[in-house]
A and B are shown apart, each in its own frame.
Chain A
Amino acid sequence: MQGGGINDSEAWTLTRPLEANEGRAKLLALQARLPFRERMMRLKAIADANAFIDKCEVAGGVSAQVSKSFMVSGDRNRRVDIEVISGVAFVPPPPPPTPTGQQGSLSC
């Protein structure tokens, strides 16, 4: 988050792709730290950033390098930024682990 005296971020360094849920949680954490007035001013920008994460999730994630700025309309400085510096981010959650002991066969 930038502008209006705010310069706050939530970074990640992982050995696996960041899941979309984790991305949304980071955005929520950032949002929660904003003063009320600043949060209200950024509502649309935050919603747009969330929508971008949603689209990435549906697409199976997004590969680096990506830099997206979601601006507060008509405001020179306030914005929400997303940077994917390396790897892949905003992937869907992995499928649940397969319970052991499943068997089957196909025959004709």
Chain B
Amino acid sequence: MLATSEIMFSKFRENRDEYMQSQREWLEVFNAALKPIHQTGWEDWLRDPFFEGTPIFSRVNRRMKKGIVINQILPSDDDLAFRAYLDIFADDSDVDLVEHVVITSVLSEETKEKARMLINAHLVHKLPSAEIERLCEILTCGSVGTRQE
């Protein structure tokens, strides 16, 4: 359960070292998820101008038009400790359009594993959008304090 998975780097907004360590943690998750296929063409993507952790980590593959966005939060920010959804950046643009998974989460061993699973499903197994959305839903529902529509 999330309650037993310790939150890491909870001072990431005030402490630039913690911010960068958090980025490294998510990079490791991303690399671990992609390891089975050694994909190339991934580059740093979205800016976080005020170092708020939204996003703390993002990667895009312009050729594939796919991306990953990870927003790091604290337990006090949201009743959900982990949420994920599929989104499209610049959906009116042929050039900039990117289908991406957004993960908004605290940083813990458990959420890292959830993120790895989701990134792997999206980028390695290339599951259809409907299945990615379903997986996002399942993982989000698995968090505490879920409010249903």
Contacts and interface: CB of A to CB of B under 8 A. Distances in A.
A79 B96 CA distance: 22
A62 B49 contact: yes
Contacts of A8: none
Contact of A4 (B50, B55, B102, B149): B149
A75 B54 CA distance: 18
B79 interface: yes
Interface stretch (B9-17, B123-131, B140-148): B140-148
Interface SS, B side:
loop
B45 A73 contact: no
B89 A65 contact: yes
A63 B104 contact: no
Contacts of B46: 65-67
Interface size class of B (residues with CB under 8 A): 20 to 34
B47 interface: yes
B102 A69 contact: yes
Interface string A45-75: 0000000000110010011111111010111
A76 B104 CA distance: 11
Contacts of A64: 47
Contact of B147 (A11, A62, A75, A81): A75
26 contacts: A3-B149, A11-B92, A56-B49, A59-B50, A65-B89, A66-B46, A67-B46, A69-B54, A69-B87, A69-B102, A69-B104, A71-B80, A71-B104, A73-B77, A73-B78, A74-B78, A74-B146, A75-B147, A76-B83, A76-B140, A76-B141, A76-B146, A77-B85, A77-B149, A83-B89, A85-B89
Given A65-B96, A73-B79, 17 more contacts: A4-B149, A56-B49, A59-B49, A65-B45, A65-B47, A67-B89, A69-B102, A71-B104, A73-B80, A74-B79, A74-B80, A74-B145, A75-B147, A76-B83, A76-B147, A81-B87, A83-B90
